[in-house]
Amino acid sequence: MSLLSARNLRTRFATDRGEVRAVDGVSFDLAEGEILGLVGESGSGKSVTALSVMRLVPEPPGRIAADSLTFDGTEILALSEAQMREIRGSSMAMIFQDPMRSLNPVLTIGRQLTEVLRRHQKMDGTAARRRAIELLEMVGIPMAEKRLAAYPHQFSGGMRQRVMIAIALSCNPRLLIADEATTALDVTIQAQIVELVKQLTRERGTSVIWISHDLGVVAGLCDRVNVMYAGRVVETSPIRDLFKHPRHGYTLGLMGSTPRVDGMQKRLTPIEGLPPNLAEPQTLCPFLPRCRVSIEACRQRPPERRSFGPGHTAVCLAELGT
């Protein structure tokens, strides 16, 4: 059974430009210990998908609906805010791009960690302190015991992100969502954090949703990828298959605009044009105006989801290789 399952997830925002369909009919499953990547350009609905799962979308102006959205068999959208808070503190955790925004600048690192442990794990002061040191060591912070007394500004960006990860892991979550968590970090630290996440899934069976616009990082980390465009999953595939046989014009475009994963840097070719206005209903493929491989049929009817092998589907009419 999957830990997380979304069927026809739709998250919309009421704006003065009309109703923005930020997430427009997204379905996916996440197994225990699986690392799922969400990729796509800015504005494609990655963050709102994650926030919907955590029920952290501001409502209003947001509104989350789904045929079903279950976590460990429980219908998330049916839970009260109090029940949801309980789950967020114990089974689901999320880390964001900017740790400075999530850490409290006037409290020590130790205090912020132990507070979570005391509140959610009901630990006493001594146990919480011991566990805080363990967690900091686990995320690779040297001299952890001494560092408990430090304030966030005394840490480098990479260290702060590790602290955020330690806080996220303090409740032993079954689901960890990382939203552009390493985007602001230099590549060496990024690689270390990626290793840490892999280790977690291996050792604890943690399930991970890894959000990034960087296809290279996703290639090195994820088991499977959902490619998002205009609030939809336009392609989903096991990682190797996606790079060998992309089946959507958008995925192809993204790959053309990403440094090669084998380390050979080639020139970046950004996808020309802009994503569609999400307040306007899409009747044809939303990527059509920017697509380099579109065919006549794309201008005549909306594409249907087609299967291209185990776990690999794409919503594209073009025939991209074999």
Nearest to 48 by CA among 71, 65, 72: 65
Side-chain-side CA neighbours of residue 97 (13 Å): 7
Give the span between the Cα atoms of 301 and 83, in whole angstroms.
43
Give the span between the Cα atoms of 290 and 6, in whole angstroms.
28
- Out of ligand ADP, Mg ion, none, what residue 277 binds, judged by CB under 5 to 8 A for its kind, is none
Stretch that binds Mg ion, among 44-52, 87-95, 227-235, 280-288 (CB under 5 A): 44-52
- Out of ligand ADP, Mg ion, none, what residue 61 binds, judged by CB under 5 to 8 A for its kind, is ligand ADP
We find the least distance from the C-beta atom of residue 52 to Mg ion, in angstroms, to be: 12
CA dihedral (61, 230, 190, 225) positive or negative: positive
Query: Can you say whether residue 83 is alpha, beta or left, with left for phi > 0 and alpha for psi between -120 and 50 degrees?
Result: alpha
Q: Is 92 or 278 the residue whose CB approaches ligand ADP more closely?
A: 278
SS3 of 13-70: EEECCEEEEEEEEEEEEECCCCEEEEECCCCCCHHHHHHHHCCCCCCCCEEEECCEEE
Provide the mask over 34-53, with x wherever binding to ligand ADP is found by CB under 6 A and - wherever it is not: ------x-xxxxxxx-----
Interaction of residue 83 with ligand ADP, rule CB under 6 A: no
Give the three-class secondary structure for 192: helix
Q: Is 20 or 123 the residue whose CB approaches ligand ADP more closely?
A: 20
Stretch that binds ligand ADP, among 55-63, 70-78, 162-170, 189-197 (CB under 6 A): 55-63
Q: Which two tokens stand for residue 256?
A: 């053309």
Interaction of residue 311 with ligand ADP, rule CB under 6 A: no
Give the chain's end-to-end CA distance (angstroms, integer).
32
- For 122-135, letters b (16+ CB in 10 Å) and e give ebeeeebbebbbeb
> In whole angstroms, how far apart are CA 113 and each of 77, 128, 153, 171, 192?
29, 8, 16, 10, 21
Q: Which of 5, 11, 47, 236 binds Mg ion (CB under 5 A)?
A: 47
CB neighbours of residue 24 within 10 Å:
21
Q: Is 39 or 194 the residue whose CB approaches Mg ion more closely?
A: 39
Residue that the structure tokens 């015991």 belong to: 145
Interaction of residue 212 with Mg ion, rule CB under 5 A: no
How remote is the C-alpha of 34 from its chain's centroid? 13
Residue that the structure tokens 């044009």 belong to: 273
Stretch that binds ligand ADP, among 54-62, 70-78, 103-111, 128-136 (CB under 6 A): 54-62
We find the least distance from the C-beta atom of residue 47 to Mg ion, in angstroms, to be: 3
Q: Is 48 or 136 the residue whose CB approaches ligand ADP more closely?
A: 48
Interaction of residue 219 with ligand ADP, rule CB under 6 A: no
Stretch that binds Mg ion, among 43-51, 61-69, 128-136, 264-272 (CB under 5 A): 43-51
Interaction of residue 278 with ligand ADP, rule CB under 6 A: yes
Q: Is 116 or 209 the residue whose CB approaches ligand ADP more closely?
A: 209
- Out of ligand ADP, Mg ion, none, what residue 205 binds, judged by CB under 5 to 8 A for its kind, is none
- Out of Mg ion, ligand ADP, none, what residue 22 binds, judged by CB under 5 to 8 A for its kind, is ligand ADP
Give the three-class secondary structure for 297: helix
- Out of Mg ion, ligand ADP, none, what residue 154 binds, judged by CB under 5 to 8 A for its kind, is none
Interaction of residue 60 with ligand ADP, rule CB under 6 A: no
The residues of the shown chain that bind Mg ion, judged by CB under 5 A, are 47
The residues of the shown chain that bind ligand ADP, judged by CB under 6 A, are 13, 15, 20, 22, 40, 42-48, 58, 61-62, 278
